[in-house]
Amino acid sequence: MKRKALLSVLLVLIIIAATACNGGGDSASEIFIASANPMTGDSAQFGDMKVKAIELALDEINEEGGIDGKNVKLIVGDDTGNPKEAPNVAQKFAGDDKILAVIGHWNSSCTLAARGIYEAASLPVITDSVNKQITDGTTPHMYRISLTDTTQAYNLAQYAFNKLGKKNAAILFTANDFGTGLKNDFTDEFERLGGTIVASETYFEGQSKDFSPQLTKIKGQNPDVIFIAGYYVETALIAQQAGPIGLDVPMIGTEGISSEELIKLGGDAVEGIRFAAFFHPEVEFPGTKEFVEAFRSKYNKEPDNYAALAYDSTKLILEGIKQNGATRDGITSYLNDVEDFPGVAGPISFVDNDVTRNILILEVKNGKIDLADIQLD
C-alpha cells in the first residue's frame, strides 16, 4: 500500500515537472500582453474571435523579428463573461509585472467589476465594452476602442427617425447592461425627436430561443420599425421567427450583430436588417485589405467588428511599446498622446479615454453584409 502511494507521488511530481518545463519561458527576451475575454460560457464566441485577431497581429510582428528582437506573447485569461470571475483574472494580470497591457473584457459588467484592480496597478487596458460608466474619469488607464451604448443608441434613433422616416418604434432588448442601456438611450432620443416607442420587450441572451410571445405582442402594437438591442445569435432567431408570426417591418440593430454569423444563422430572414458598426472590409483604411485577407487565410473566417477592434488594440499597444519602451507607463502615455493611429477600422485617437470614430450603417443585402445606401451624416 505504502509503495503504491509513493509511486503515485513520484508520478505526479514527474507530470508536474514536465508541464512546468513546458510553460516556462525566458521573460527577459519576451514581451507579454494579455487578453481578458470570455473563452467559455455563453459569450465564448466573442472572446474567441478577439483572441484570433490578437494572435494574428502578434504573429505578424513576431515574423518581422519582434520588437527590438523580443518576441511578443499573448497570455489568454478567461473571464467566462461573468463579473464574478473578471476581477480574479484582472488581479492575476495586475499582479504579474511582466504583463504590460490588457485587451479586454468584452462584457461591460466584467469591465466594470475589474477596472478598479487594473487602475490600482496602473495597467493600461483597451476594452470594447460599451457601458458609458467605464470611462467616467475614475479609471484613467481604461481606454475604450468602441463607442458607448449611448452614442450608438442616439445615432440609431436619429437614423430611424430622420433617415428612415419611422415614427413608431418597438424595442426588443437583451436583459443585460448592454441591452438595457441601449433601450433607455434609444427611447430617450427617439421620443425627444418626436417618435413613439410602442413596445419594449426583453429576453435573455444565451437562454431565450423562443421569441414568439414577444413578437406577437409587438405585432399587436403596429410598429413601423423594430430596434433589436442584442447580439447576432438572438437577432437571427428573432428575424426567423418574425416571418411566420406575420410581423414584417424593418429591423435595426447595433454593432452587437455585425457578424457574418448573423447571415449564416439567419439566412433569408435577416435580409434587409440594418445595423451600426465600426468596421466593414470594404470601407478601406490603410491596412484593412491586408488584415481581412490575412484573417481569412489564417482562420478561414470573416473578421468581424470585434476582431477588427481587437486587432487595432493590439497594434496600438505594440506601437506604444516600440515608441516608449516595454513598460506599462510607456504604453499608457502613448495611448494618451496617440493621434489618428492608422487602424484597420479607421483612425484612432482617444479623448478622455474614449475613441472618436464614425458609425457606419451596414445592411444585409443578397446574403452579404454591405454598406447601407442611406448613411448617417
Partner 1 sequence: MFMEQLSNGIALGSIYALTAIGFTMVYGIIRLINFAHGDLYMIGAFLTYTGLTLFNMPIVPSFLFGMVGAAAFGIAIAKFAYSPVFKAPRINLFLSAIGIAIFLENFAMLIWGPETQSFPSVINNKVYSFIGIRISSLQLIILGSTIVLVGILTYVVQYTKLGRAMRCVSQDMDVSKLMGINTDRIVYLTFALGSGLGAAAGTLVGMYYKAVYPMMGFVPGLKAFIAAVIGGIGSIPGAMLGGLIMGISESLGAAYISSGYRDAIAFIILIIILLLKPEGLLGKGIKEKI
Partner 2 sequence: MSKIIKVLLNLALYSGILYIGIIILSKVFDIGTKRFLVFDEKKKKVASIGFLIFTGLIPVFLSKNTYALRTSILVLIYIVLALSLNFVLGFAGQLSMGHAAFYAVGAYTTAILTVNYNVPFWISLIFSALVAAIFGLLLGIPTLRLKGDYLAITTIGFGEILRLILINWTSFTRGPAGIPGIPSPTIFGYTINTNTGYFYILYILALITIFISHRLLNSRLGRGLIAIKDDEVAAEAMGINPTFLKILAFVLGAAIAGIVGGIFASFIHYVNPDNFTYMESVVILTMVVLGGVGSIPGVIVGATVLAILPEALRGISTYRYAIYGILLAMMMIVRPQGIISMASLKGGGGNENSRSQSSN
Provide the binding-site residues for partner 1, judged by CB under 8 A.
39-42, 44-45, 48, 175, 201-204, 206-210, 212-214, 216-217, 220, 233, 236-237, 240, 243-246, 261, 264-265, 267
* Closest to 38 (Cα-Cα) out of 1, 89, 91: 89
Q: Which does 23 bind (CB under 5 to 8 A by kind): partner 2, partner 1, none?
A: partner 2
Give just the sign of the alpha carbon dihedral 342, 345, 347, 351. negative
Q: Which does 95 bind (CB under 5 to 8 A by kind): partner 2, partner 1, none?
A: partner 2
Tell me the residue type at 187.
Answer: T
CA distance 166 to 175: 25
Cβ 336 to partner 2, closest distance in Å?
24
Binding site for partner 2 (CB under 8 A): 5, 8-9, 11-12, 15, 23, 39-40, 76-78, 82-84, 87-89, 91-92, 94-96, 109, 112-113, 116, 121, 131, 133, 175-177, 179-181, 202
As beta bridge partners, residue 370 has 363
Which is closer to partner 1, CB of 68 or CB of 210? Answer: 210
Which is closer to partner 2, CB of 112 or CB of 361? Answer: 112
Q: Which does 167 bind (CB under 5 to 8 A by kind): partner 1, partner 2, none?
A: none
Q: Which does 87 bind (CB under 5 to 8 A by kind): partner 1, partner 2, none?
A: partner 2
Cβ 55 to partner 1, closest distance in Å?
16
Q: Which does 333 bind (CB under 5 to 8 A by kind): partner 1, partner 2, none?
A: none
* Closest to 92 (Cα-Cα) out of 24, 35, 17, 20: 35
Which is closer to partner 1, CB of 58 or CB of 218? Answer: 218
Question: 76: how many CB neighbours lie within 10 A of its CB?
Answer: 16
Q: Which does 96 bind (CB under 5 to 8 A by kind): partner 2, partner 1, none?
A: partner 2
Query: 86-94 and 108-120 are packed helices; what angle lies between their axes, rounded to 10 degrees?
Result: 30
Residues in the chain: 377
Q: Are 350 and 336 in contact (CB under 8 A)?
A: yes
Question: 282: how many CB neighbours lie within 10 A of its CB?
Answer: 13
As beta bridge partners, residue 355 has 350
Which is closer to partner 1, CB of 118 or CB of 173? Answer: 173
Q: Which residue has the cell 442616439?
A: 154
